[in-house]
Amino acid sequence: MKTNRRDFFKILGSAAALTIIPRHVMGRGYIAPSDQLTKGIIGTGSMGRGHVNYAGTRLVAVCDVDKKHLELGKHLVTDNIAAYHDFRDLILDKNVDIVHIATPPHWHGIMSVEAAKAGKDIWCEKPMTRTIGEGKRVMEAVKQYGSKFRLNTWFRFADNFYGLGTPVRPLKKLVQSGMLGWPLKVTISRHTGFDWKFYWVGKENLQPEAIPAELDYDMWLGPAPYKPYNSHRVHQTFRGYWDYDGGGLGDMGQHYIDPVQYFLGKDHTSPVKVEVDAPQQHPDAVGTWRSITYTYDDGCQIVLWGDDYGDPNTPYISGPNGNVYKNFVCDIPYWEKKLAAYPEPEEQVTDFIESVKTRKQFALNEQNGFRSSTIVNMGTVALRLNRTLHFDPVKLEFVNDDAANRLLDQPMRAPWNI
C-alpha cells in the first residue's frame, strides 16, 4: 500500500515532531514549519554582496572565480559557509534551495538553466539574459523542471518608480481605467526621471594586460568569445562590452522598461518594430545613442531618449485623452476623483519566499521577465546593426533579417552551451 506524506508523519508520531528532515530528502516544495530556506550566491562582487539579507533565507554557500571576491563572500555572514570556484558545485550543493545569480549577464542563461535542472529555485539579476535565444531556453527549463524564478527588479510592485515620484500600481490603475485613451506613448528619459548611465561605455582598442593571479579569467569569460585580458573588461566596467552586456541599456533597461510593459498590459507579447537613432557602434565596445523607439502592433510605443535628448516638456505617458508628467501629474480635470471609482489592479505574489513555499508564480517571473528582457535585447541588436528592425512576437524572431537573427542565438565558446 502506498503511504502518502501525511500518513508518513502520522506513523512517525511525536518522534517526527522532534526531527528536522532535510528538504532535499522530502522533495521540492516541502517546507517544515521550523525550517528556513537556504540560498547560495554565484558572483560575490559588489552586486552579489549587496543582496545577502533578504528575509526568510539563510546564506549557506558562495561562489566566485576571483579569489578576492570569494574571500569577501565567505565573510558576508558569521557562520562557516561553503565556498566554491565553479558555479556547478554550488548548484549541486544539496544544502542550497535558492540560487542567486549575480554574475555578468553573459552567464545568466547557462546558470539559470543548470540551476533549474538541479531542482533549485532561482533569483536572477537583471538583465535576465544577454540574448533573446538564451531567454527562451531559461523559460523552457524553468517550466520543464518546475522551478520558481524571480528577476531582481521590483518596480512593477514596490517602491517609488525613480523620478516619477509614485509607485507603479497607481499608473497601472490609471492606464487600465482607459481615462488616458489608447494607444499610449511612454517616454523614458532624463527629463522624466530616468538616467541611462552612459558612463557604461566600452573602450576601443584595449591593450592586453597581465591577468591578476587571483582571477580565473578563462572561467570569467566562460561562453563569451576569447579576448585578451584588460581590466576594463571585467568586474565593475564589463557592461561596456557587447560580449557581456549592453551598456546603460543592459544595466537599467529592465528596471525602467519592465514596469511600462506591466502597466501597458504587454506581459505576453513584444513590440513589432524597433527604430534607433545612434552613432555607428563599435563591434566590441558599447557606445551611446540618441533614441530608441519600440512600437507594438496596436500602436503603443515605448521611446527611450539618451542623455538630454528631446523636449524636456514631453510627458512621461501621452494619450489621446490626457497625459501624465513627472511627479505623477495628470492633466485630466478631476482625474484623481474619477480614478477612485475604478477597480484596483490584480494582486500579485510579491514575496519570493512566499512564492517558493507555496509554489505560486512570483510577480516578475521567467515569462514576463523574458518579455521585458526581449525589449532590451531587441534594442541592443538594432543598435549593433544601426537600423530599424521588425520583430515577430509569436515566433520570437526578426522578420526577413538574417543578420539580426544571427544575434538571437550567438555562438558560445566551447565547451559551454545552453
Running DSSP on this structure, what letter comes out for residue 301?
Answer: E
Mean pLDDT of 283-290: 98
| pLDDT above 90 as % of the chain | 88
Q: What is the pLDDT of residues 303-338, one digit of tens each?
A: 999 998 999 999 999 999 999 999 999 999 999 999
Tell me which residue has cell 552551451. 417
- According to CATH, the superfamily of the domain at 38-151 is NAD(P)-binding Rossmann-like Domain (3.40.50.720)
Looking at residue 181, what is its pLDDT?
A: 98
> Using an 8 Å Cβ cutoff, are 138 and 113 in contact?
yes
| Residue 274 pLDDT > 70 | yes
In the chain, the largest separation of any two C-alpha atoms, in whole Å, equals 74
Looking at residue 54, what is its pLDDT?
A: 76
Looking at residue 27, what is its pLDDT?
A: 54
Give dist(CA 91, CA 112) in Å, integer. Answer: 10
Task: Give residue 169's identity as a one-letter amino acid code.
Answer: R
Task: Give residue 216's identity as a one-letter amino acid code.
Answer: D
Give dist(CA 405, CA 236) in Å, integer. Answer: 30
> Using an 8 Å Cβ cutoff, are 384 and 405 in contact?
no
Q: Assign residue 172 a region: left if phi > 0, alpha if psi is -120 to 50, beta otherwise?
A: alpha
Q: What is the pLDDT of residues 204-220, one digit of tens each?
A: 999 999 999 999 999 99
Mean pLDDT of 359-374: 98
Per-residue confidence at 48, pLDDT binned at 50, 70, 90?
confident
Higher-confidence residue of 46 and 196: namely 196
Q: Which residues contact 76 (CB under 8 A, 6 or more apart)?
A: 41, 44, 49, 52, 59, 62
Q: Which residues contact 66 (CB under 8 A, 6 or more apart)?
A: 45, 214, 215, 216, 220, 235
| Residue 392 pLDDT > 90 | yes
The region of weakest confidence among 177-181, 307-311, 365-369, 395-399 is 307-311
| Residue 8 pLDDT > 90 | no
Give dist(CA 22, CA 283) in Å, integer. Answer: 50
In order, the DSSP letters of 207-269 are: PP-PPPTTB-HHHHHTTSPP----GGGSGGGGGGBTTT--HHHHHHHHHHHHHHHHHTT-TT-
Overall fold of domain 168-408? Dihydrodipicolinate Reductase; domain 2 (3.30.360)
Looking at residue 23, what is its pLDDT?
A: 52
| Residue 246 pLDDT > 60 | yes
The region of weakest confidence among 46-55, 96-105, 269-278 is 46-55
Question: Mean pLDDT across the chain, nearest whole number?
Answer: 92
Per-residue confidence at 130, pLDDT binned at 50, 70, 90?
very high
Per-residue confidence at 369, pLDDT binned at 50, 70, 90?
very high
Mean pLDDT of 244-250: 98
Task: Give residue 414's identity as a one-letter amino acid code.
Answer: A
The region of weakest confidence among 49-58, 114-123, 369-378 is 49-58
Element (H, E) at 132: helix 132-145
Higher-confidence residue of 364 and 28: namely 364
Give dist(CA 44, CA 41) in Å, integer. Answer: 7
3-state secondary structure of 33: coil
Looking at residue 46, what is its pLDDT?
A: 83
Q: What is the pLDDT of residues 59-81, one digit of tens each?
A: 999 999 999 999 999 999 999 99
Higher-confidence residue of 98 and 52: namely 98
Question: pTM for the full model?
Answer: 0.91
| Residue 226 pLDDT > 60 | yes
> Using an 8 Å Cβ cutoff, are 328 and 113 in contact?
no
| pLDDT above 70 as % of the chain | 92
Query: Beta strand pairing status for 301-305 and 291-295?
Result: antiparallel
> Using an 8 Å Cβ cutoff, are 132 and 273 in contact?
no
Give dist(CA 21, CA 15) in Å, integer. Answer: 12
The region of weakest confidence among 29-43, 139-153, 239-253, 399-413 is 29-43
Length of the chain: 418
For the chain, domain boundaries: 38-151, 168-408
Give dist(CA 350, CA 36) in Å, integer. Answer: 18
Q: How many CB atoms lie within 10 A of CB 17?
A: 12
Looking at residue 20, what is its pLDDT?
A: 33
| Residue 18 pLDDT > 60 | no
| Residue 28 pLDDT > 70 | no
Cell numbers placing 13 = 508520531
Mean pLDDT of 132-137: 98
